[in-house]
């Protein structure tokens, strides 16, 4: 199908505003008479609050209010459980969500205990230092493997063995098939914590307008509508009295959809109480403690393979670190459990996990949201099995891919959206073939690698594949309006954090109405403009909100034709919409511009016919039956410095399939950014906690994130296997870049040290860790 | 954080023992100590100014001595809190008679460090901790020598904060030689400390 706008590399509508510093971010909101907030956060990871003395702080000039949990009265409530446990047989689920301010007990370092409101942030921070908070420390739960033991202290006194959840999902019977296997690989895998480290920290500005009885909130949230709904209910206001604006946001990545952060509950409350605008902007140090994190898991996994390299079954038992509270339910570990199956036909699968509470910051989804753990375990098992069988990583993957004719493919377990894990469509073999071609796999192995080794250079190649469950429900909506100017207004409820929504959504509408993309003004993340929907997460914006935009544009097009047929006295079938006007096919004179038509649809005199609506406007909703599954292959060539163990990326290839592509340039950007975060996760970033739950690297001095020098320009290609589950045939792509990078690094580094028995069973790595692993490995044959 | 070390005092064991229990000496020898009071039998309260890299602040500590075997050994429980974190832990101090006039002190400490001190100061914590221990012991030794023989050449002048900072900078630099990976940062940190010294001495 020839398209003018959909699928084109169109420059982003939002960039002029962003690049010239004209875009509104939460911290740009400065209102007259505004107050500022700073929090007292616990230095201890675990402890009982003995006393809080606020006297001195209250006396400080410029301090307006100091609030503890007691001062909140009935407003002090635990946050909602965002995702209830899925309907899985025999599931154990112990609910425990976060509190606005710690009341009796501290459950992680950095937990907010006291809120100070003052005329300036400086005064508020000074007043925080005036507080005397006496906390009696308790031994902390840090090691997730020990958390379940009888001797372990308890994060929550009434939750035995710190068990947040226990889930078993099974397909076929692994135990029955294990004995028939020719090769069984059994290993323990570790995946440690990191933080999203978004460029913009969190922030909330709230303004209660007493005269209008209206509460306006600017919030760096990925889910403005649920925030509005929740706050209205908590504050006893009607939903229409609360307006939540999620303006431009400098990176979301998942942690900004945790609801409700204590600050999101407290800032609006205190604004309403004091009848003044109140602002809180998270600083970087707070971000390391109070914004949610991800990734701690320990897997004991096993793969059973036949001599011809076919997977007979996989068994995986893992422990998941939930952190101090689990407001997001089981989304992350269920993602790990489901994504492990990858692109492969796994006839027998036994997966069991236990989520445990620890005295560490809360875990909620962060780009990949548990998927990388599953991919890491599976891809590593395949690599090890291939090694044992004497076949290449490419061969073992090819042998086990789900074939194109097998779609839709039912994995017979339940996914995070509570639907059965059914892959809607996919075509895995061509993506692998393309990646092999692009990276010149065979040439590298046969010629390049031996030649470079002779020069003393250790280079390795890696190639892994993965799936990404994307675009889950429930629904999103969009409203398309043709304005009298002839330009289009497009409004959707989801928020934007840099994904290019202002362009991708415009392209979808432009394609239907045939207007230039720059003429479509897009509004996102303002509940006053659009009040129905759930939010930006799970790589669902393009799939769910994008489809709603498409449906709304089609509905408007119908209205355009209907009205134009009356005006132009022609049947609808004879009309065509294009170039900003409607005309009778083949009769250029018989036409009317969209703007004029819009003006006619909203007359100042006369009557609107019964049964019709004024204006050229339509609102549509789209809710997919279940998620759509994207996939891809990443390939890498790395060189490892034999002295420093720094890993340099020589080439990085991504062949990606997210169905039909709306804007390849934006997609490339998504993948580039995802890979950058994946690289950080694989080789740079690790949150180090000591045995007392103290985070030891809570600054960018010590927590390393990759820089532009460490992240190469990603090369690649797109394969388009449309999704049958939405009218656009699109699939999500937001998390694709980051998911398989750990597995890829492991394979490539092992390959660079193929003469040693180096085995990489953990992520993140670092030069230090790699040096240690190499020192432990048996003597290298050639150095 | 674990601290472990030995130090030879130039004095008999009994005198070293007394010295270690004397708040008036301890306050002058402990870098950054502003106040030290005996609040009960074997109980002390101290206030100290601590600076570890970018983190600094006042710490108020309770120190309790126990298991005293005079003049051989005792244990210490320390509980310090401040705006930039906390230090909490146990220490064991043993005194051995090396010769009649020399006493060997062996100390081990296991300290929990938390808050900003740990999360931001971590990288320098070990070195600064060791440096503080070394410098206060040296100062106490000088005090001891002076106490035993006031005519001795070395008069005991309690070290100033600036002198202490210079000592830390020296120790940090010494460590950085062994650990070249972090040299850039350490140079910056030393520069910061040097600036502080300059500020205090100008």
- Disruptive mutation site among A40, A43, A195, A645 for chain B (greatest number of B CBs within 10 Å): A43
- Count of domains forming chain B: 1
What pLDDT score was predicted for residue B201?
63
Q: Is the pLDDT score of A440 beyond 90?
A: yes
> Residue A382 is encoded by which pair of tokens?
């395949």
Q: What is the pLDDT of residues B82-127, one digit of tens each?
A: 888 999 999 999 999 998 889 999 999 998 999 999 998 888 888 8
> Model confidence at B178, in pLDDT bands (50, 70, 90)?
low
The whole-angstrom separation of Cα A66 and Cα A52 is: 11
Q: Which of B54, B118, B119 to mutate to test the interface with A (most CBs of A within 10 A)?
A: B119
Say yes or no to pLDDT of A2 above 70. no
Nearest-Cα distance to chain A for B18, in Å, is 33
Would you give the distance in Å from CA A159 to the centre of its chain? 29
pLDDT at A247 over 90: yes
- At residue A202, the pLDDT reads 98
d(CA A239, CA A231): 8
Task: Among B85, B122, B185, select the one facing A43 at the smallest CB separation.
Answer: B85
Least confident of A211-215, A505-509, A778-782: A778-782
What pLDDT, on the 0 to 100 scale, is given for residue B187?
A: 63
Kind of pairing between the strands at A520-524 and A488-492: parallel
Quick check: A592 pLDDT over 50?
A: yes
Q: pLDDT > 90: what percent of chain A?
A: 93
A697–B122 CB contact, under 8 Å = yes
Is the preceding omega at residue A118 within 30 degrees of 0, hence cis?
no
Chain A within 8 Å of B122 (Cβ-Cβ)?
Answer: yes
- Mean pLDDT confidence for A215-221: 98
The pLDDT score that the predictor gives to residue A611 is 80
Chain A CB contacts of B112 below 8 Å: 137, 692, 694
- Structure confidence by residue, pLDDT tens digits, A538-557: 889 999 999 999 999 999 99
- Stretch A231-244: mean pLDDT: 97
Domain range enclosing B45: 2-201
Strands (E), A78-232: 92-93, 105-106, 112-118, 132-137, 163-171, 183-191, 203-209, 214-219
Contact A694 B118 (CB under 8 A): yes
| Residue B90 contacts A where some CB pair is shorter than 8 Å | no
> A366-402 b/e with 16+ CB inside 10 Å = b?
bbbbbbbbbbbbbbbbbbbbbbebebbbbebbbbbbb
Question: What pLDDT does residue B28 have?
Answer: 81
With CB atoms and an 8 Å threshold, state whether A695 touches B112: no
Residue A762 has pLDDT above 80, yes or no: yes
Q: Give the 3-state secondary structure of residue A670.
A: helix
Rounded to 5°, the CA angle A668-A366-A82 comes to 125
Cβ atoms of A503 and A597 within 8 Å: the answer is no
Query: How close B182 comes to chain A (CA, Å)?
Result: 10
Rounded to a whole number of angstroms, the CA Rg of chain B reads: 17
Answer positive or negative: Cα dihedral of A102, A106, A109, A113: positive
Dihedral angle, C-alpha A339, A344, A349, A355, nearest 10 ° = -10
End-to-end CA, chain B: 35
More confident residue, A239 or A613: A239
Q: Would you say the C-alpha torsion A571, A577, A582, A587 has a positive or negative sign? A: negative
**Across A252-265, average pLDDT:** 94
Contacts of residue A543, defined as CB under 8 A and 6 or more positions apart, other chains included, come to: A470, A471, A624, A628, A723, A726, A728, A730, A731, A732
> What ipTM is given for this predicted complex?
0.80
Whether B191 shows a pLDDT value over 80: the answer reads no
Instruction: Give the pLDDT of residue A782.
Output: 43
Separation in Å, CA of B166 to nearest CA in chain A = 23
In this complex, is the C-beta atom of B32 within 8 Å of any C-beta atom belonging to chain A? no
Question: Of A159-173, A215-229, B136-150, which gets the smallest average pLDDT?
Answer: B136-150
Percent of chain A at pLDDT exceeding 70: 99
Given CB atoms, is B119 within the 8 Å cutoff of chain A?
A: yes
pLDDT tens digits, one per residue of A309-351? 999 999 999 999 999 999 999 999 999 999 999 999 999 999 9
Report the DSSP beta bridge partners of residue A237: none
Q: Is-contact A396 A389, C-beta < 8 A?
A: yes
Distance CA A260, CA A67 (A): 18
Yes or no, beta carbons of A694 and B114 under 8 Å apart? yes
Is B179 at the interface with chain A, CB within 8 A?
A: no
Contact yes or no for A43 and B123 at CB 8 A: no
| Spatial distance between the Cα atoms of A535 and A496, rounded to a whole number of angstroms | 9
Give just the sign of the alpha carbon dihedral A58, A60, A61, A67.
negative
Chain B closest CA to A157's CA: distance in Å?
23
On the 0-12 / 13-18 / 19+ scale of CB atoms within 10 A, B126 is middle
Distance between CA atoms of A597 and A580, rounded to whole angstroms?
Answer: 11
Please name the residue of chain A whose CA is at the shortest distance from the CA of residue B181: A644
B54, B114, B122 member nearest A43 (Cβ): B114
How far B114 CA sits from the closest chain A CA (Å)?
A: 6
Average pLDDT of the residues of chain B: 83
Residues of A with CB below 8 A from B118's CB? Answer: 690, 694-696
8 A C-beta contact, residue A719 and residue A713: no
B158 in contact with A, Cβ within 8 Å: no
Contact check, Cβ <8 Å, B112/A702: no
Instruction: Give which of A347, A349, A339 is closest to A377, Cα–Cα.
Output: A339
**Residue A690 Cα, gap to closest chain B Cα (Å):** 9
Q: Helices A393-400 and A428-439 sit at what angle, rounded to 10 degrees?
A: 160
Q: What is the pLDDT of residue B129?
A: 84
The predicted pLDDT at position A783 comes to 43
Q: How far is B119 from chain A (nearest CA, A)?
A: 4
For residues A9-34, average pLDDT: 96
User: Which band of pLDDT confidence, cut at 50, 70 and 90, is reported for residue B140?
Assistant: confident
Residues 6+ apart with CB under 8 A from B178: none
Q: Which residue of B lies nearest to A139 if distances are taken between CA atoms?
A: B112
Put simply, whether B116 touches A (Cβ < 8 Å) is: yes
Burial zone of A432 (CB within 10 Å; 0-12 exposed, 13-18 middle, 19+ buried)? buried
Report the gap between the CA of A124 and the closest CA in chain B (Å): 14
Tell me the per-residue pLDDT of B158-175, one tens digit each, with 9 for 90 and over: 777 777 777 777 777 776
The chain-wide mean pLDDT, for chain A, equals: 95
Residue numbers in A near B114 (CB within 8 A): 43-45, 109, 692, 694
Answer whether B147 touches A (CB < 8 Å): no
CATH label of the domain that carries residue B8: 3.30.530.20
Q: Which has the minimum average pLDDT: A428-437, A608-617, B4-13?
A: A608-617
pLDDT exceeds 90 at position A33: yes
Give the pLDDT mean for A478-494. Answer: 96
Three-state secondary-structure class, residue A28: helix
Is the pLDDT score of B188 beyond 90?
A: no
Task: Give the closest of A285, A692, A699 to B114, CB-based.
Answer: A692
pLDDT of the residue at A781: 46
The answer to whether B192 faces chain A, any CB pair under 8 Å, is no
CB contacts, 8 Å: B83 with chain A: 129
Listed range (A66-70, A516-520, B59-63, B178-182) with the worst mean pLDDT: B178-182
- Has residue B139 got a pLDDT over 90? no
Residue among A109, A129, A696 minimizing CB distance to B122: A696
- Of A251, A242, A330, nearest to A287 (Cα)? A251
C-alpha B31/C-alpha B164 separation (Å) is 6
Collect all residues of chain A within an 8 Å Cβ-Cβ radius of residue B86.
43-44
With a cut of 70, say whether residue A707 has pLDDT above it.
yes
- pLDDT over 50 (residue A64): yes
Name the residue with higher pLDDT: A418 or A46: A46
Phi then psi for residue A664, to 5 deg, are -60, -30
Report pLDDT for A738.
Answer: 95
| A43–chain B nearest CA distance, Å | 4
């Amino acid at each position: 199908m020839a398209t003018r706008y959909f699928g084109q590399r169109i420059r982003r509508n939002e960039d002029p505003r962003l690049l010239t510093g004209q875009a509104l971010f939460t911290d740009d909101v400065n209102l007259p008479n505004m107050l500022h907030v700073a929090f007292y956060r616990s230095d201890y990871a675990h402890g009982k609050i003995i006393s809080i003395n606020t006297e001195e702080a209250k006396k400080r000039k410029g301090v307006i209010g100091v609030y503890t949990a007691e001062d909140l009265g009935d407003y002090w409530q635990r946050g909602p459980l965002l995702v209830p446990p899925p309907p899985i047989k025999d599931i154990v689920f112990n609910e425990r969500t976060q509190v606005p301010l710690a009341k009796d007990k501290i459950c992680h370092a950095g937990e907010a205990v006291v809120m100070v409101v003052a005329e300036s942030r400086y005064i508020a921070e000074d007043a925080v230092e005036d507080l005397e908070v006496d906390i009696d420390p308790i031994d902390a739960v840090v090691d997730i493997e020990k958390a379940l033991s009888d001797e372990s202290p308890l994060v929550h006194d009434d939750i035995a063995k710190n068990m947040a959840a226990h889930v078993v999902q099974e397909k076929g019977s692994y135990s029955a098939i294990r004995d028939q296997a020719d090769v069984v690989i059994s290993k323990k895998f570790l995946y440690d914590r990191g933080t999203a480290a978004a460029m913009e920290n969190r922030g909330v500005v709230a303004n209660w307008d007493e005269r209008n009885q209206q509460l306006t909130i600017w919030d760096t949230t990925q889910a403005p509508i649920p925030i509005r709904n929740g706050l209205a209910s908590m504050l006893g206001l009607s939903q229409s009295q609360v307006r939540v604006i999620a303006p431009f946001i400098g990176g979301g990545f998942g942690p900004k959809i945790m609801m409700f952060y204590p600050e999101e509950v407290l800032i609006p409350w205190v604004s309403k109480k004091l009848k003044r605008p109140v602002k809180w902007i998270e600083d970087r140090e707070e971000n390391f403690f109070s914004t949610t994190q991800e990734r701690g898991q320990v897997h004991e996994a096993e793969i059973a393979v036949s001599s011809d390299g076919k997977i007979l079954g996989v068994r995986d038992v893992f422990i998941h670190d939930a952190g101090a509270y689990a407001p997001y339910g089981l989304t992350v570990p269920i993602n790990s459990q489901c994504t492990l199956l990858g692109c492969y036909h796994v006839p027998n699968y036994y997966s069991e996990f236990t989520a445990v509470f620890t005295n560490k910051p809360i875990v909620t989804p962060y780009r990949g949201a548990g998927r990388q753990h599953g991919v890491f375990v599976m891809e590593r098992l395949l690599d090890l099995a291939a090694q044992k069988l004497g076949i290449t990583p490419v061969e073992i993957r090819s042998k086990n891919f789900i074939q194109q004719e097998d779609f839709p493919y039912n994995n017979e377990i339940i996914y995070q959206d509570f639907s059965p894990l059914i892959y809607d469509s996919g075509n895995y073999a061509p993506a692998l073939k393309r990646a092999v071609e692009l990276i010149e796999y065979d040439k590298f192995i046969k010629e390049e690698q031996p030649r470079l080794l002779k020069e003393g250079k250790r280079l390795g190649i890696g190639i892994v594949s993965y799936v990404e469950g994307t675009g889950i429900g429930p629904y999103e909506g969009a409203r398309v309006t043709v304005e009298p100017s002839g330009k289009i207004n497009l409004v959707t409820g989801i928020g934007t954090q840099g994904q290019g929504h202002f362009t991708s959504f415009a392209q979808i509408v432009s394609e239907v109405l045939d207007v230039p993309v720059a003429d479509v003004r897009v509004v996102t993340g303002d509940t006053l403009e659009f009040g129905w929907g759930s939010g930006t997460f799970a790589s669902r914006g393009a799939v769910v909100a994008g489809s709603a935009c498409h449906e709304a544009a089609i509905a408007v097009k119908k209205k355009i034709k209907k009205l134009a047929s009356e005006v132009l006295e022609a049947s609808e079938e004879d009309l065509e919409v294009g170039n900003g006007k409607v005309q009778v096919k083949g009769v250029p004179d018989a036409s009317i511009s969209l703007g004029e038509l819009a003006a006619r649809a909203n007359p100042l005199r006369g009557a609107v016919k019964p049964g019709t609506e004024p204006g050229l406007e339509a609102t549509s909703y789209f809710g997919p039956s279940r998620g759509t599954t994207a996939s891809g292959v990443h390939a890498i060539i790395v060189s490892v410095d034999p002295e420093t163990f720094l890993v340099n990326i020589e080439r990085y290839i991504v062949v990606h399939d997210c169905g039909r592509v709306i804007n390849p340039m934006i997609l490339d950007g998504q993948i580039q950014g995802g890979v950058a975060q994946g690289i950080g996760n694989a080789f740079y970033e690790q949150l180090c906690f000591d045995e007392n739950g103290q985070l030891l690297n809570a600054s960018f001095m010590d927590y390393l994130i990759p820089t532009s020098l460490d992240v190469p320009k990603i090369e690649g290609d797109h394969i388009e296997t449309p999704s049958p589950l939405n009218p656009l045939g699109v699939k999500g792509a937001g998390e694709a870049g980051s998911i398989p990078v750990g597995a890829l690094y492991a394979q490539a580094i092992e390959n660079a040290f193929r003469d040693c028995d180096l085995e990489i069973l953990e992520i993140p790595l670092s030069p230090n860790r790699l040096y240690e692993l190499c020192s432990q490995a048996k003597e290298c044959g050639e150095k | 954080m674990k601290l472990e070390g030995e130090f030879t005092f130039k004095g008999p064991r009994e005198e070293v023992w007394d010295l270690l229990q004397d708040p008036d000496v301890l306050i002058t020898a402990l870098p950054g100590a502003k106040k030290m009071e005996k609040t009960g039998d074997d109980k002390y309260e101290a206030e100290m100014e601590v600076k570890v890299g970018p983190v600094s602040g006042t710490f108020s500590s309770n120190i309790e001595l126990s298991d005293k075997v005079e003049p051989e050994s005792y244990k210490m429980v320390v509980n310090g809190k401040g705006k930039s974190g906390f230090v909490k832990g146990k220490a064991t101090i043993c005194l051995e008679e090396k010769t009649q006039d020399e006493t060997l002190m062996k100390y081990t400490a296991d300290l929990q460090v938390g808050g900003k001190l740990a999360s931001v100061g971590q990288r320098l914590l070990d070195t600064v901790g060791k440096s503080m221990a070394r410098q206060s012991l040296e100062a106490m030794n000088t005090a001891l020598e002076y106490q035993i023989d006031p005519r001795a050449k070395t008069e005991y002048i309690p070290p100033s904060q600036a002198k202490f900072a210079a000592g830390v900078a020296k120790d940090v630099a010494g460590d950085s030689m062994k650990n070249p990976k972090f040299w850039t940062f350490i140079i910056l940190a030393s520069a910061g400390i040097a600036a502080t010294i300059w500020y205090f001495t100008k």
